[in-house]
């Protein structure tokens, strides 16, 4: 896995999108601090790079997921991603990036829309 040369928050999130769309749990986990927290608001927070990697591995095995970025904002150490998927579901994510790695991620999306559409 190549280390990112651009460690600004928006660049890290662009790499996150590429690895997410490639269903690459190892690659995506490498973008997180060892003690990072990923909190998708419909679930309990996932703590630590290893647990985050396992979460993505389970999700990628369960479904094909695609993140289509609509808007990517950067403010200080935070990148804000507004996204959609091919089925029309929408959400947003807030990524706090420190030292070129994701320290905290919070995601908002409608859980019911995923259950209804598959």
Per the domain annotation, does 77 fall within a domain?
yes
Structural domain harbouring 109: 9-117
Per the domain annotation, does 52 fall within a domain?
yes
Per-residue model confidence as pLDDT tens digits over 77-94 = 999 999 999 988 899 999
Per the domain annotation, does 4 fall within a domain?
no
Per the domain annotation, does 3 fall within a domain?
no
Per the domain annotation, does 14 fall within a domain?
yes
Query: DSSP of the chain, one letter per residue?
Result: -PPPS--SHHHHHHHHHHHHHTT-HHHHHTTEEEEEEEEETTS--EESHHHHHHHHHHHHHH-----EEEEEEEETTEEEEEEE-TTS-EEEEEEEEETTEEEEEEEEE-HHHHHHH-
Per the domain annotation, does 98 fall within a domain?
yes
Per the domain annotation, does 1 fall within a domain?
no
Question: What integer is the mean pLDDT of 53-58?
Answer: 97
Per-residue model confidence as pLDDT tens digits over 2-54 = 678 999 999 999 999 999 999 999 999 999 999 999 999 989 999 999 999 99
The CATH code of the domain that includes 35 is: 3.10.450.50
How many independent structural domains does the chain possess?
1
pLDDT at 110 (0 to 100):
74
User: Model-level pTM greater than 0.75?
Assistant: yes
Per the domain annotation, does 2 fall within a domain?
no
Mean pLDDT of the chain: 93
**Which residue has better confidence, 110 or 31?**
31
């Amino acid at each position: 896995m190549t280390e990112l040369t651009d460690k600004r928050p928006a660049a890290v999130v662009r790499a996150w999108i590429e690895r997410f769309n490639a269903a690459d749990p190892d690659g995506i986990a490498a973008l997180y601090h060892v003690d990072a927290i990923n909190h998708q608001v419909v679930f309990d927070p996932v703590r630590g790079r290893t647990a985050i990697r396992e979460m993505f591995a389970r999700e990628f095995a369960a479904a094909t997921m695609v993140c289509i970025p609509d808007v990517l904002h950067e403010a200080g150490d935070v990148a804000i991603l507004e996204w959609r998927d091919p089925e029309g579901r929408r959400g947003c994510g807030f990524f706090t990036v420190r030292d070129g790695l994701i320290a905290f991620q919070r995601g908002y999306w409608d859980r019911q829309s995923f259950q209804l559409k598959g």
